[in-house]
Amino acid sequence: MSRLRVYAFSVSLDGFSAGPRQDLDHPLGVGGERLFAWFFPTRTFQKMHGGGEGGEENADDAFAAQGFAPFGAWILGRNMFGPVRGPWPDESWKGWWGDEPPYHMPVFVLTHHARAPIAMKGGTVFHFVTDGIEAALARAKEAAGDLDVRLGGGVSTVRQYLRARLVDELHLVLSPTLLGQGDPLFRDLDLPALGYECVEHHPGARAAAHLILRKTR
């Protein structure tokens, strides 16, 4: 059965998973790139964004490399797709990633404002869902077939799915940095009461820790 999984989702020591004031110059919020210091040096990241050459093959890369193969669809929040707010002013914004996004599969974007699907190079198709998180999950699972669905964020989207107990598993990367402010992942979430517990923990190569949380009841 297809599961909904959060994977390689970074969180700071003080609980933030994005910096404040996201805009075109700061896609991860101000300072948010520090959360991914474990990811940028990996061979997987270099293959995706650096032309395919070099990069470190280590414990962090082993986790990063599993971020696409087991999945058949993605779900993203509107903020994860881009900084445009409110009604779509035109059809020009097609995501942060250029003509060929790294997904190569169907991606379902949560929004309050309808928009026609966008087919991109490499097999990525962005579908815009206006009738809520459960509808997006149903469509994503249908598209994924026997594969899992990856919930990519942003923070508020992950929190909504957690609060609804729709996430089956989370791979969190505890990054050894302090942001001080930003989007808090765990605020007002009682994960044990929601049925989640930490079932695995693994050291990374750059002081980050990889934690697996699973809904066990």
Taking only the tens place, the pLDDT of each residue in 3-51 is 999 999 999 999 999 999 888 888 889 999 999 999 988 988 888 776 6
The rounded mean pLDDT for the chain is 93
Q: Decide: 69 and 143 in contact? Cβ < 8 Å.
A: no
Q: What is the pTM of this model?
A: 0.92
For residue 125, is it left (φ>0), alpha (ψ between -120 and 50) or beta? beta
Mean pLDDT of 65-88: 90
Residue 185 has pLDDT above 80, yes or no: yes
Residue 177 has pLDDT above 80, yes or no: yes
- Say yes or no: domain 4-32+68-87+95-215 is CATH 3.40.430.10: yes
pLDDT tier, 217 (very low <50, low <70, confident <90, very high otherwise)? confident
Burial of 189 (0-12, 13-18, 19+ CB in 10 A): middle
pLDDT score recorded for residue 51:
63
Taking only the tens place, the pLDDT of each residue in 89-147 is 998 999 888 899 999 999 999 999 999 999 999 999 999 999 999 999 999 999 999 99
How far is the C-alpha of 145 from the C-alpha of 43, rounded, in Å? 29
Backbone torsions φ then ψ of 26, nearest 5 degrees: -135, 75
Backbone torsions φ then ψ of 54, nearest 5 degrees: 75, -160
Residue 149 DSSP SS3: strand
E-assigned strand segments in 81-191: 106-110, 118-119, 125-129, 148-153, 169-175
The domains of the chain are located at 4-32+68-87+95-215
Query: What number of other Cβ atoms are within 10 A of residue 163's Cβ?
Result: 14
Single-letter amino acid code for the residue at 127: H
Residue 65 DSSP SS3: helix
Give the residue from 64, 83, 100, 51 showing the smallest Cα distance to 210. 64
84-88, 101-105, 123-127, 203-207: range with highest mean pLDDT: 123-127
Taking only the tens place, the pLDDT of each residue in 153-167 is 899 999 999 999 999
